[in-house]
Chains A and B, each alone.
Chain A
Amino acid sequence: MATDTQPSREVGRTLLAGVERIHETLDSYGLVPTVTNGIALLFVVWTLFPVYWMVSGSLRTRSDLLATPPKLVSTALTVENYPELFVQRPAFYEFLFNSVVVTVGSTALAVLLGTAATYGFVNYEFPYNLGRFHLPFLVLTTRFLPPIVTVIPLYVIFDTANLLNTRLGLVLAYAAFNIPFVVWMLKGFFAELPDSIVEAAVLDGHTELGAFFKIVLPMVRPGLIAATIFTVINAWNELLFAVILTSNTEAQTLPVALATFKTAYAIQWELLTVAGTIAMAPVLLFAFLVREKLLRGFTMGAVR
């Protein structure tokens, strides 16, 4: 038995050995699957209960939703909160539209520039890659700053450039802060490609640019999809920049709209849950549709 050997007697005082002993005891009673499944279940409830509460809340009346003691399961479900939202807040369409435009625009820009940049980083020697302070790392350092630090100077710049309260402004801001993610998600994929693939494509008659689009990009597709989803989620959910850089329905996005449901006087819970559900649905649906490719992207599927 492991506890009888010399090395484990030494770690006998550590926490790890204690956990191991519990594991052993559970194992001897055949309880390991029960306990691990129990922990997993707890985690699922912990993360999904708020989602359940929001979605079910959107289908309940205000009094039902706020009943004391709280009713976990409602018997009186209704869909009338949904039209009510658009009646009370006709601008919700505009928020939705703004969110879609900003998300699609910034994702397209970030993935395009990020992919090209990554390919360059991986395949070419840059004179300004000084030792360990190489450029891809410096790109990532922009994400080390708390966003609130960058948003103030950004506000001043946007003010001068007439980008405040425009969708274009948000597209640029989101693209800028998503490019580092794209670079770092794709770096591994590009590094895995053998040099000879591009060389073969060049000998087969492509220019390097042609080889990039026709051969390289299809080969890193799982990575592209993962990076795309990631930037979509980031852009769709972003609140801080949107709150500060936009001021009305011209450019305000869904998260900003959601924040306005909570006022100094009241919280419109039943409408907030509807708006929240609508805001959540597209990203969830999107991720669900491409889940297999997403998984392959995150686990760095074998390229060869």
Chain B
Amino acid sequence: MVRVRYDDVTKRYGNEIGAKNIDITVDDGEFAVLLGPSGCGKTTTLRCLAGLTDPTEGEIRIDGTDITDRHPKNRDIAMVFQELALYPHMGVAANIGYPLKVEGVDKATRRERVEAVTETLDIGELLDRETDELSGGQRQRVAIGRAIIRRPSVFLMDEPLASLDAKLKVEMRNEIKKLQRELGITTLYVTHDQEEAMTLGDKLIVMNDGTVQQVGTPAEVYHDPANQFVAGFIGSPSMNFLRVRREAAGSQRVVAANDATFSFSVERLPTAVGDTEPFVLGVRPQYFSVHQSPIDGAAKAEVTVTEPMGDEQLLTVQFDGDGREIAVRAPFDVGVTRGDTIWLGISGERAYVFDVETGARIRQTELSTDTAVPTGSRP
């Protein structure tokens, strides 16, 4: 069942586009993550739903009801802000219970619900503390408590973990996910951190330049990116992009587009790729095969940096006579050091092909460079 629906929502700030033609849905109980670089419009999109920003065009519906012009307090939503926005002149219990107080819920009921929420969040012992006596993680929990106490129909979070250190971030991430599952609250979560998005979301909504680039499950956006932006944004280290062309008409070998400084074999290149025009080949660092002696279909390259990471190592390599560096992940037991020559091969299924001009994905079976964004489905 669809809980939140954006119907062609656009927000302009003067001549600037904040978000453009946003057309997304979030199902009941779903954890949706708005993901993108800063300035991509994800927060604007979220604030339109919260009612803190008025869309210039379009409609937003919750449970089928148009709430576009409703006051935030009448939307049955709650939000956790990046700065948390705890009320500093109130203690922990007062902060968490505040939405109920404004609603006019009596004191005894309020206390009861506050205690229940703090129990869920494992901060029962902090009830009588002041907010400035809390650690970062505890403040986070209080902010979440204040948001869930009203049992909103939609729960919004705007980069709530941005100010935490790495370890705490992972910890809170898991807790948020657990909590969301337990409570079954429909959630929209904004982040620029793709790792956070992948681990949290049922559905990722990848945005750039104010528009939605792709909607899908974490696996879909990772393994089946709609365009070059999504392919490059999701995954760390990022996907490598090489500007190439076919070596000869109909050939399954590609060479560097300008000077043919390297050549690879790539099986099953989409037929839509013409015989002479250049295209972009995208390969994730772990999908190169590393060889220490010449092998057919592999390109010669020189290792410039090695970064051991335990089980594997991250290599930065340069193709012979080509200035561009690419990242390659190799098993730890591939014994290479700086200055060594290696040969890189690509597994055909793991290479993506993009249009040079539009960045649109060119698929195996498609004949045209379709830019349509596939809509996500729940796993």
Interface residues of A (CB under 8 A from B): 194, 196-197, 199-207, 210, 215, 218-219, 221, 303-304
Convert B48-90 into 0s and 1s, putting 1 for each residue whose CB lies closer than 8 angstroms to a CB of A: 0011100000000000000000011100011101111101110
**Contact residue among A203, A210, A218 (Cβ-Cβ distance under 8 Å from B79):** A203
Cβ-defined contact, A205 with B99, below 8 A:
yes
**CB-CB nearest in chain B for A197:** B85
**Contact residue among A196, A205, A304 (Cβ-Cβ distance under 8 Å from B102):** A205
Cβ-defined contact, A196 with B82, below 8 A:
yes
Q: How far is the CA of A303 from the CA of B87 in the complex (A)?
A: 10
Residues of chain B lying within 8 A (CB to CB) of residue A219: 87-89
CB-CB contacts below 8 Å: B84-127 with A? 84-85, 87-89, 98-99, 102-103
**CB-CB nearest in chain A for B98:** A204
Residues of chain B lying within 8 A (CB to CB) of residue A203: 50-52, 72-73, 77-79
Residues of chain B lying within 8 A (CB to CB) of residue A202: 52, 71-73
Residues of chain A lying within 8 A (CB to CB) of residue B79: 199-200, 203
Cβ-defined contact, B87 with A206, below 8 A:
no
Q: A204-B98, A205-B102 are in contact. Are A197 and B72 (CB under 8 A)?
A: no
Q: How far is the CA of A207 from the CA of B88 in the complex (A)?
A: 19
Query: Which of B52, B78, B146 has the largest number of chain A CB atoms within 10 A?
Result: B52
Cβ-defined contact, A194 with B88, below 8 A:
no
**CB-CB nearest in chain A for B77:** A203
Q: How far is the CA of A197 from the CA of B88 in the complex (A)?
A: 10
Chain A contact residues: over half helix, strand or loop, or mixed?
helix
Residues of chain B lying within 8 A (CB to CB) of residue A210: 102
**CB-CB nearest in chain B for A198:** B85
**Contact residue among A199, A204, A205, A218 (Cβ-Cβ distance under 8 Å from B89):** A218
Interface residues of B (CB under 8 A from A): 50-52, 71-73, 77-79, 81-85, 87-89, 98-99, 102-103, 132, 146
A193 to chain B, nearest CB (A): 10
**CB-CB nearest in chain B for A214:** B102
Q: How far is the CA of A194 from the CA of B50 in the complex (A)?
A: 17
Residues of chain B lying within 8 A (CB to CB) of residue A207: 71, 73
Residues of chain B lying within 8 A (CB to CB) of residue A194: 83, 85
Q: How far is the CA of A207 from the CA of B73 in the complex (A)?
A: 8
**CB-CB nearest in chain B for A217:** B89
Q: How far is the CA of A200 from the CA of B132 in the complex (A)?
A: 18
Q: How far is the CA of A201 from the CA of B88 in the complex (A)?
A: 12
**19 A-B pairs, CB-CB below 8 angstroms?**
A194-B83, A196-B81, A196-B83, A196-B84, A196-B85, A197-B87, A199-B50, A199-B79, A200-B146, A202-B71, A202-B72, A203-B77, A205-B99, A206-B73, A206-B102, A215-B87, A219-B87, A219-B88, A219-B89
B182 to chain A, nearest CB (A): 22
B62 to chain A, nearest CB (A): 14
Q: How far is the CA of A205 from the CA of B72 in the complex (A)?
A: 8
Q: How far is the CA of A197 from the CA of B98 in the complex (A)?
A: 13
Query: Which of A194, A203, A218, A221 has the largest number of chain B CB atoms within 10 A?
Result: A203
Cβ-defined contact, B81 with A199, below 8 A:
yes
Query: Which of A199, A219, A303 has the largest number of chain B CB atoms within 10 A?
Result: A199
B53 to chain A, nearest CB (A): 10
A139 to chain B, nearest CB (A): 27
Residues of chain A lying within 8 A (CB to CB) of residue B50: 199, 203
Residues of chain B lying within 8 A (CB to CB) of residue A215: 87
Q: How far is the CA of A99 from the CA of B103 in the complex (A)?
A: 44
Cβ-defined contact, A205 with B73, below 8 A:
yes
The 10 closest A-B pairs by CB, nearest first: A205-B102, A200-B85, A196-B85, A196-B81, A204-B99, A205-B73, A218-B89, A194-B83, A196-B83, A197-B85
Residues of chain B lying within 8 A (CB to CB) of residue A303: 88
Residues of chain A lying within 8 A (CB to CB) of residue B99: 204-205
Query: Which of A200, A201, A210, A304 has the largest number of chain B CB atoms within 10 A?
Result: A200
Residues of chain B lying within 8 A (CB to CB) of residue A304: 88, 132
